[in-house]
Amino acid sequence: MPTAKNYNHGTMLLAAYIRNHIIDMTHLGGSSHVGSGLSIADILAVLYGDIMTIDPQNPKLENRDRFILSKGHAGAAVYAVLAEVGFFKPEKLKDHYQNGSVLSGHVSHKGVPGVELSTGSLGHGLGVAAGMAKSAKLRKKNHKIYALLSDGECDEGSNWEAILFASHHKLDNLVAIIDYNKIQSLDTTENTLALEPFAKKFESFGWNVIEVDGHNHTELKTAFNEANIHSNSPTVVISHTTKGKGVSFMEDSVLWHYRSPQNEEYQNAKKELLNNISRLKEVTSDA
Amino acid sequence: MRDAFISELTNLAKDDPNIILLTGDLGFGVLTDFAQKFPNQFINVGVAEQNMTAIATGLALEGFKVYTYSIANFTTLRCLEQIRNDVCYHDADVTMVSVGAGFSYGQLGVSHFATEDLAILRALPNMMVIAPSDPWEAKILTRKMAEKSGPKYLRIDKGSAGCEKVPFNDIHLGKGRIIRKGLDVTLISIGAILSEVLIAADRLSADGINARVISISSLKPLDEKIIFDACNETPGIVCVEEHTKIGGLSGAVSEICLSNGIIPGFFKKIGLNDEYPSVVGDQDFLRGVYSMSSKNIYFETMEALKNLENN
């Protein structure tokens, strides 16, 4: 069966490449949301590099697992992972944000193989994912549907409609992942519209809740494997993350929700990321 | 008209297991038969129209032919962004069905008046906009819409023009129908308010004025030829809609005429002014209060013809 498990470099290295692309893309495009992309690089690397059944040569493979990026503003990260695992050539990433490009800032399916759903307005992805999960149940298919949401996005009421629906319909083939970096557009999530007690909210809505360090690949893999065998209710993986993860001066900062890395900032970010890639390469070759 | 829609959808669902009907917790007594016959093709998603539209998109992207059902603005404006971003941008096979066109629920208040839906939905790329004038047309159009994939809007009216049954092949998506032939003036309407237009045409006829009556059930795509012919062959046109005068039937007609350099002898818009109604009442009553009854259509037409003569 075709699978992204064909990605041979290990998920840590895949995450490092995703981060490297994100910095290049947001630098070249002068675009925002670099912190949001870096925050989810590990989640994407684990899903695309280890967990999901996909076939880059056949993006519409019937029994593929579906992935929806509901926090569409982190589109650069998804384009990066799709290119890395082979849906299209990484050179295409240079087009991101450029005039005439199909690689829009917010993730879009048009002309981009591997993107299941275009998003950008928050609070859309989970409902569509629940519809896909319901479809798989009706058709007695075994694939999974993954929807990645931001924490700030959980302010949107439409998500809670979908959360009710998914548990009512026992959609155990649906896995929501929350990128819980605790920073939203202007301030922290707790100062803006408090989500805590976050896990309890999902529990009381009838969901299976797993909390992980969203940068720890072992924890992520264990969580997704647990979700795979869990039955009778949907799973949410609340992933505690750091916005801007992987570039020290971008970490945990609202500023890098908007700012695009230029000049010295870009050089410093690249240096850090490339050092990490070299280090990981050494470790993997040692192994 | 509502019953005609659901009975035809029931017929279609028998042969097509991909048809799924979603309701936002409305349709008491109306959807019961469908729900009992096809329990696996019916979901009451609860009072959650945004989610209903998102679920519909998810199902449609996986190959289902999905219908969302609710009253008036709940299946359209409440979830407009889901319709735009999820359904239309992905060209998903979802038909939004709204019952309660115009003042159908006239006693229930402004929240239940569907008086901007045509204009708003017409603006969405990929969207088809259909408003039948009577149950027979609703039945045929329901079947013809099912033959097409993609986003569609079906506007169901409580009123009915009660035209005679015409053969299946005489009703087409994207085509208007000439209900009465005439050369002295053209009355064009959309949906069930055709009933008022026909009464006005009778009064005009009694005065020796033979009005051509055109029923537009398909606002998008719009039958340009039938409108251009009316502009060229009759002295002027009157557009009638139970809807705001902005952007609906009269908006669409004036856009295509002007952009094709076709100027009717005169052009009258009958519909709701740019304001919210301040009183309630049944559909007939509100048509009277808001100047779209047969009487208004008759007098407006007579006045336009007189002005034309005086000029």
Here the tokens at position B262 are 């076709």
CA–CA gap between residue A164 and residue A81 (Å, rounded): 31
Percent of chain A surpassing pLDDT 70: 96
pLDDT at A8: 54
Is residue A38 predicted with pLDDT exceeding 60? Answer: yes
Instruction: Verify whether the Cβ–Cβ distance A165 to B89 is below 8 Å.
Output: no
Of B51, B59, B60, the CB nearest to A158: B51
Nearest to B58 among A120, A131, A139 (CB): A131
pLDDT of residue A7: 58
- Cα dihedral B180, B181, B183, B185, rounded to 10, equals 10
Nearest chain B Cα to A116, which residue?
Answer: B61
Distance (Å, whole) CA A93 – CA A26: 10
Q: A126 to chain B: which residues are within 8 Å by CB?
A: 54
Interface with B, mutate which of A161, A167, A173 (most B CBs under 10 A)? A161
- Asked whether the beta carbons of residue B54 and residue A127 sit closer than 8 angstroms, the reply is yes
Q: What is the pLDDT of residue A2?
A: 42
A162 contacts chain B (CB < 8 A): yes
Query: Which residue of chain A comes nearest to B89, CA vs CA?
Result: A118
Question: DSSP H helical segments within A144-233, as ranges?
Answer: 157-168, 189-192, 198-204, 217-229
* pLDDT above 50: residue A3: no
Structural contact between residues B35 and B20, judged by C-beta atoms closer than 8 angstroms = no
User: Does residue A166 sit at the B interface (CB-CB below 8 Å)?
Assistant: no
Is the pLDDT confidence value at A246 over 80?
yes
What Rg value do the Cα atoms of chain B yield, rounded? 19
For A132, which of B43, B62, B81 is closest by C-beta distance? Answer: B62
Q: Which residues on chain A are in Cβ contact (under 8 Å) with B58?
A: 127-135
**Which of B45, B64, B85 shows the shortest C-beta gap to A118?**
B85
Contact assessment for residue B210 and residue B188, using Cβ atoms and an 8 Å cutoff: no
Arithmetic mean of pLDDT over chain B: 97
Chain A positions in Cβ-Cβ contact with residue B51 (cut-off 8 Å) = 127, 130, 158, 161-162, 164-165
- Residue A83 Cα, gap to closest chain B Cα (Å): 22
- Strand-pairing partners, residue A212, are A239
Residue written as token pair 């048809």: B19
CA-to-CA dists, residue B175 to A270, B31, B145, B193, angstroms: 60, 29, 13, 18
CA distances to A139, B92, B137, B217 from B189, in Å: 43, 29, 14, 8
* Digit-coded pLDDT (tens) for B24-74: 999 999 999 999 999 999 999 999 999 999 999 999 999 999 999 999 899
Task: Give the tens place of pLDDT for each residue, A160-187.
Answer: 999 999 999 999 999 999 999 999 999 9
How many cross-chain Cβ pairs, A to B, lie less than 8 Å apart? 87
Chain-centroid distance of CA B14 in Å reads 26
Contact A157 B50 (CB under 8 A): yes
* Residue B239 CB burial class (10 angstroms; 0-12, 13-18, ≥19): buried
**Other CB atoms within 10 Å distance of the CB of residue A86:** 17
pLDDT in tens, B159-193: 999 878 888 989 999 999 999 999 999 999 999 99
- Please state, rounded to an integer, the average pLDDT across all residues of chain A: 94
Q: Per the CB < 8 Å rule, is B54 touching A130?
A: yes
Q: What span, in angstroms and rounded, lies between the C-alpha atoms of A131 and B55?
A: 4
Q: What is the pLDDT of residue B165?
A: 86
Find chain A residues with C-beta within 8 A of B48's C-beta: 161, 164-165
pLDDT tens, position by position, A264-280: 999 999 999 999 999 99
Domains located in chain A, CATH noted: 4-286 (3.40.50.970)
Peptide bond between residue A56 and the one before it cis (omega within 30 degrees of 0) = no
Question: Is A234 touching B (CB cutoff 8 A)?
Answer: no
> Do B50 and A127 lie within an 8 Å CB cutoff?
yes
pLDDT tens digits for range A194-227: 999 999 999 999 999 999 999 999 999 999 999 9
Min CA distance, B290 vs chain A (Å)? 36
Phi, psi at residue A61, to the nearest 5°?
-40, 130
- Plot region of B233 (φ>0 → left; ψ -120 to 50 → alpha; else → beta): alpha
Give the integer Cα–Cα distance in Å for B91 and B76. 16
Is the model's pLDDT at A285 over the cut of 80? no
Q: Tell me whether residues B86 and A135 touch, CB distance under 8 A.
A: no
Pairwise CB contact (< 8 Å): A135 & B64: yes
Mean pLDDT of B105-113: 96
Torsion angle of C-alpha atoms A39, A42, A44, A46, degrees rounded to 10: -160
In tens, the pLDDT along A59-78 reads 999 999 999 999 999 999 99
Among B45, B74, B80, B126, the residue to mutate for chain A (most A Cβ within 10 A): B45
The verdict on a CB contact (< 8 Å) between B58 and A132 is yes
Model confidence at A287: pLDDT above 70:
no
Mutate to test the interface with B, among A62, A109, A135 (most CBs of B within 10 A): A135
Distance, in Å, from the CA atom of A233 to the CA atom of A174, rounded to the nearest integer, reads 8
Burial of B275 from C-beta contacts in 10 A (0-12 / 13-18 / 19+)? exposed
- Provide the residue type at A5 as one letter: K
pLDDT tens for B205-244 read 999 999 999 999 999 999 999 999 999 999 999 999 999 9
Interface confidence, given as ipTM, is 0.95
Q: Which of B46, B54, B81 comes nearest A128 by C-beta?
A: B54
Contacts of residue A122, defined as CB under 8 A and 6 or more positions apart, other chains included, come to: A70, A71, A72, A150, A152, A153, A155, A156
| Residues B158-167 as b or e (16 or more Cβ within 10 Å = b) | bbbbebeeee
Indicate the Cα dihedral angle A131, B78, B255, B213, nearest 10°. 90
A161 has a chain B CB within 8 A of its CB: yes
Nearest-Cα residue of chain B relative to residue A129: B58
Domains annotated on chain B, with CATH: 2-156 (3.40.50.970), 169-310 (3.40.50.920)
What pLDDT, on the 0 to 100 scale, is given for residue A140? 97
Alpha carbons within 13 A on the beta-carbon side of B175: 11
SS3 of A224-240: the string is HHHHHHCCCCCEEEEEE
Residue of A nearest to B48 (CA): A161
Rounded-to-integer distance, Cα A233 and Cα A287, Å: 39
Tell me which residues of chain B have a C-beta less than 8 Å from any C-beta of chain A.
40, 43, 45-46, 48, 50-51, 53-64, 81-82, 85-86, 89-90
Least trusted range by pLDDT, from A142-151, B30-39, B129-138, B160-169:
B160-169
